Amino acid sequence: MPNYNFIQLDVFTDRAFCGNPLAVFPEAEGLSDERMQQIAREMNLSETVFVLPSEKEAVLRRLRIFTPSSELPFAGHPVVGTWNCLARGGVVPLPENGNGWVSIKHEVGIGVLPVDIEFKEGEPGRVVMTQGKFEIRGEIEDWHEQAEIARALGLAREDLDETLPIQAVSCIHARDDRNRRSARPRAIFHRTEYRRRSGHRQRGRTIGRLPGLS
């Protein structure tokens, strides 16, 4: 039965145990949908990404993004974190002299989208992704709900601008090249080499192995 390596990252930070946690399986071929969901549930992180070959022309990889309860067609920090991880793992071709931008295409649940990665001295420093065109799902008009939102932002309801609506929006269902997101996820983490019953830690990233999965 095959083994599957995974890498656990903290995205949007340069300190271990901060930022947004993410697990990435860089070579997930052979895992069924059911097994991917089971692994994501076991990881119990906001998202776990399974990286697969893509059958689309000129697409470098296909990403499947799972929460502990379901698969997502698209999400931001998993894309940024995964491509930082894959770039460090040699999946992304380096620019000349190891400095500059590389543009690639990847496949996610909402389609094929571009990703741009900036390298400095052979290391990825910035990932710029395209996300879906935002869709307005509705407006929040109830005074009490607005007060709850204001309170979550550390504001009073009276601080809100009455001329601007509070809207619930989503950007995971349709593509629009005008919506670009840039981040410097850095390399983010602590490193663990798992051996069934024992392990050791170093500063860096978490690298684990799930033995005997199919």
Report the alpha-carbon distance of residue 53 to residue 38 in Å, rounded: 21
What per-residue string of b and e applies to 64-100 under the rule 16 or more CB within 10 Å gives b?
Answer: bbbbbeeebebbbbbbbbbbbbbbbeebbebeeeeee
CB within 8 Å of 91: residues ≥ 6 apart = 26, 60, 61
Residue 46, class by beta-carbon neighbours within 10 Å (0-12 exposed, 13-18 middle, 19+ buried)? middle
Residue 47 known to be catalytic: yes
- Among 27, 34, 47, 118, the active-site one is 47
Residue 50 identity: F
Contact at 8 Å (CB) between 21 and 9? yes
The catalytic site residues sit at: 47
